[in-house]
Amino acid sequence: MSRHGMQRVTGLLCAAMFSAAIVSSAYGQTRVIPAITVSEAYDTNVYFTTSGGHLQDYVTTTTPQVRVDHKSRLVDGTAQVSIPGSVYVNNPGLNYIATNASFNVGLDQLTGLVDKRWKLTVMDFITYTPQPPAFFTPQPGVGTVTSTTPQAPENFVRGVQAVRANSLINVGAITSRYVLTPVTTLTAGFQNQYMQFGRSYAATPGAGFFTTMFTTLNAGPQFQVTQRDVINANFNYSNMSFSQGSGSASTFSLEGATVGWSRTFSPKLSANASAGATVFSGGGNLQYLASASVTYQERNTSFIGSYSRSVFPSFFIAATPLLSQVITGAVTHRFTGRLTGSATLNYGKNEAIGSTALQFDTYGASAGLSYAIGKTWSVSANYSHLVTKNTFNGENFNFDRDVISVTFRKEWPDFFQPK
């Protein structure tokens, strides 16, 4: 897909979101909440590479944003569009305007017209940016069936940090549940994740970038064995495909299953864990899967920590499946009614499965303070540190990156809120 094609897809998605919000506003309660943020940052490595000229720069980013919350008799949903634009002092050729859009729609009331036991959620996330991320900050509840936050592109933010390049990421997901009995629920899901690259702003090692698609189907039963305990079995099929222009292309398929357990220990503390295995179709490599997370939340402090071991595709250097292990942690503390602090830690280790000698080791940390000047005004200061160690065929492509930023945000929560 050309750059024009990327922008057209993004534009069509944004237009569809706003059209749906406008039409639905006549049939339910709709809130349109505009916001704008202005950020000043010092970045020690704007190219995400080992060496080169003018790696350090001062960046001004302005981001207009619109969030639409809608609730009606049949549909509950949230949609969001932001258009960040950045200006660089030392590297004006890097100036850009990006696009981020997402929506999450709950269709439980609509499917309830067919059968009240049937639950359905549709989500989509799309971004066009020259700065593909290595990690996202974990959030309690994100990625669950009941979450109202659109899912992030999981396979592309597990510690693989590519050099600076135009990228289009799209993640679409459908999750469904059917309540058979008060104890037993059937769950199913479909997720399609896509990433394509355009212009690169730095030299790319190995074979460079690959257009990557990762499709997953899963289904299985869930049992509410006690008021606090849930056990589930999940059977899944995944397909990874890689292509590079009109040249090379390859495909890998996975089939596997996991068994999971989650428990709510108290209103403040909950945890879950799962374990299983997956195998490449046609016989061959068997890989063990595991995940665990714990969430703690009280009046002024919240914490989430997680570990994940799974198989995901590589989109950079070599087209190959990766055994990916990620550890994340995030803590937020409210010091006063206006002042909040936060800190995150991330570690990702990705190793090629098979004969390809490719490994990504990435460490990330960040800390920040946010102060509410008023009900709709806030200012925040943040620091982030990233250490990337990429190894391919015995060669190292390592780099560090530090970013210090100050951000002002203004929101208009009552811009459109009909009575």
* pLDDT at site 194: 92
Measuring CA to CA, which residue among 41, 44, 123 is closest to residue 87? Answer: 41
Are 326 and 308 a contacting pair, CB within 8 Å?
yes
- CA 204, chain centre distance (Å): 24
* pLDDT at site 282: 67
DSSP code per residue over 105-145: EE-HHHHTTT-TTEEEEEEEEEEEES---S-----TTTTST
pTM of the entire predicted model: 0.84
- Show me where the domains of the chain are located: 3-411
Q: For the stretch 390-411, what's the b/e string if a residue is b when 16 or more beta carbons lie within 10 angstroms of its beta carbon? A: bbbeeeebebebebebebebeb
Q: Which amino acid is at 318?
A: A
Measuring CA to CA, which residue among 129, 50, 47 is closest to residue 88? Answer: 47
What mean pLDDT comes out for the span 346-356?
A: 90
Element (H, E) at 24: helix 3-24
CATH match of 3-411 with 2.60.40: no
* pLDDT at site 30: 87
Kindly list the distances between the CA atom of residue 110 and the CA atoms of 74, 76, 174, 232, in Å, as whole numbers in the listed order: 5, 10, 15, 26
For 115-157, the pLDDT digits (tens) are: 999 999 999 999 999 988 877 655 443 333 333 333 455 667 7
Q: How confident is the model at residue 217 (pLDDT cuts 50, 70, 90)?
A: very high
Q: How confident is the model at residue 248 (pLDDT cuts 50, 70, 90)?
A: low
Is pLDDT above 70 for 43? yes
Are 192 and 165 a contacting pair, CB within 8 Å?
no
3-state secondary structure of 5: helix
For 376-400, the pLDDT digits (tens) are: 999 999 999 999 999 998 888 899 9
What mean pLDDT comes out for the span 273-293?
A: 90
What mean pLDDT comes out for the span 279-289?
A: 84
What mean pLDDT comes out for the span 63-69?
A: 94
The token pair at 400 is 């560090």
